[in-house]
Amino acid sequence: DGLAVATSGFEATGAGVVRELKVESLRTEVGVGGLGRGVWEIQGSRIQRLEVSIDARKDEGSPVPVMEPAVSEPRVEKKKKAKGWLPTEIELQGLDVREVVVRAWMKQGPASVTGMKVRMEPAGGRKAYLVELADGAIVLPFDLIPTIRLDRAKLRYQDGVVFLNRAEAAAWKEGWLDAAGEWDSRTGGYVLEGNVGGVKCEELFNETWAKRFIGDAETDFTLGNAGGSPVASGRLTVRNGTLTALPVLEALAAYADTRRFRVLPLTEAGTDWRWQDGEWLLTDLVLASEGLVRLEGAMTIRGEALDGSFRLGLAPGTLARIPGAETDVFSPGERGLVWAPVRVTGTVDDPEEDLTGRLIEAAGLRMFDVIPGSGERVIKFSRSLLGEDSSKAVEKGLEKGREILEKNPGIVEEVGGILEGFLGGGSGRKKEDR
């Protein structure tokens, strides 16, 4: 209708990054006001639904073919065609899309956008636009990021670079996200920075740890691919945290004859984190319950495997029931606590620690000096716990104790009876068999 165009549908395909384009219910108009500037003005564009398929994967192993001219053939200089008076460029004066659907294939996996509204207008320069986004769901190819429910976002596009001024979105059940960043469509490089809050710890962990760690998590973050592969990092803080049944503390609760370690209200909880290629690195990790316990250190999580080194600080007197614990295993240190190193290995669902064995070793050696009093008391106490949840940790320690005592054949006669009681063998062996 004159210079106005309306169509119920339009489709296009290509071999570049944009592989396919589908438009439903398009209306636009061509303006001639830009002829003097050498452009066609595209005005008042409205689209009911826009579907885009993108392939952002790069095949870096395929060389670009180069055609060399034959030596015998002379070069032929092509004459440049005279430039016509009609413009060969367009200038978008505005665009309103009621629904956008994007399907993208990236190196890291598939990504998608559904149900998003887009409003775009010129930003005052050539190939520069202001873009407003609203609503929609965003799925990214990263395990650490759930589906993002967009509220609104403001962007600026100029010369192939997208600048995200601010985005507000929801994620997880009650979590929120603020972010800003940029993306260069020519190189594929991107960086995104922001904050996440209102997330429950149980939403971040697997089923096993969701029962052990509760609280409200928040973190700042940076996500980018400057080195070629995506890398994310930040500082995570947990508020109103409670730690239940942490394996190393379970063992301490058993040997110290106290339940204070089994449910710990946390006065401080946080860690620096970094994620790359599916591996998590936690550094400057702190879990503390004021006046009782403090755990500091670092851990690497590769798939399900754990590898961590920590320092455990306890209030003096906590392990008074275990002979030698606070002199041979723990040492006085800062914050008025006694400290010991702890190594954590195993898997996420079945972590292992080396502190229990050292406590048993210290108690076993210390028994030689305190027989038969407190040594017997520790042994009887250990046996009484074998039917409880912490029995596995205790049993591991008992095996260590068996090795230590069996390597000392010159032990006084009373130790034989104590060892039998310790390992559950009854009242002891005959004197001639010891």
Residue 191 pLDDT grade (very low, low, confident, very high; cuts 50, 70, 90): very high
Percent of the chain with pLDDT over 90: 44
46-50, 57-61, 102-106, 235-239: the lowest-pLDDT one: 57-61
Compute the mean pLDDT over every residue in the chain, rounded to the nearest whole number. Answer: 79
Residue 255 pLDDT grade (very low, low, confident, very high; cuts 50, 70, 90): low
- Residue 324, pLDDT > 80, answer no
CA distances, 407 to each of 83, 410, 434 (Å)? 97, 9, 13
Percent of the chain with pLDDT over 70: 76
Nearest by Cα to 204 from 245, 175, 240: 175
pLDDT for residue 366: 55
- Residue 67, pLDDT > 70, answer no
- Residue 62, pLDDT > 80, answer no
pLDDT for residue 365: 57
Residue 188 pLDDT grade (very low, low, confident, very high; cuts 50, 70, 90): confident
pLDDT for residue 229: 84
- Residue 298, pLDDT > 50, answer yes
Q: First vs last Cα of the chain: how many Å apart?
A: 109
pLDDT for residue 79: 57
- Considering only residues 273 and 422, tell me which one the structure prediction assigns the higher pLDDT: 273
53-67, 201-215, 304-318, 363-377: the lowest-pLDDT one: 363-377
Residue 266 pLDDT grade (very low, low, confident, very high; cuts 50, 70, 90): very high
pLDDT tens across 381-419, in order?
444 433 344 444 445 545 555 555 555 444 333 333 433
State residue 254 phi and psi, 5-degree precision.
-65, -50
Peptide bond into 372 cis (omega under 30): yes
pLDDT for residue 410: 43
pLDDT tens across 105-122, in order?
988 789 999 999 999 998
E runs forming strands in 185-228: 190-200, 213-224
Which alpha helices (DSSP H) does 321-390 contain, by range? Answer: 355-370, 373-384
pLDDT tens across 338-358, in order?
999 999 999 988 888 888 888
pLDDT for residue 219: 96
- Name 289's Cβ contacts closer than 8 Å, sequence gap at least 6: 243, 264, 265, 266, 267
- Considering only residues 75 and 334, tell me which one the structure prediction assigns the higher pLDDT: 334
pLDDT for residue 13: 94
- Residue 70, pLDDT > 60, answer no
Q: How many CB atoms lie within 10 A of CB 316?
A: 12
pLDDT for residue 108: 77
21-35, 54-68, 178-192, 250-264: the lowest-pLDDT one: 54-68
**Mean pLDDT, rounded, for 130-153:** 91
Q: How far apart are CA 250 and CA 260, in angstroms?
A: 10
The three-state secondary structure class of 226 is coil
- Considering only residues 166 and 256, tell me which one the structure prediction assigns the higher pLDDT: 166
- DSSP result, 302-315: ETTEEEEEEEEEE-
- DSSP result, 149-160: EEEEEEEEEETT
pTM confidence score: 0.73
Nearest by Cα to 231 from 106, 342, 144: 144
Give the best-scoring range by mean pLDDT among 46-60, 291-305, 403-417: 291-305
**Mean pLDDT, rounded, for 59-71:** 45
Q: How far apart are CA 167 and CA 152, in angstroms?
A: 6
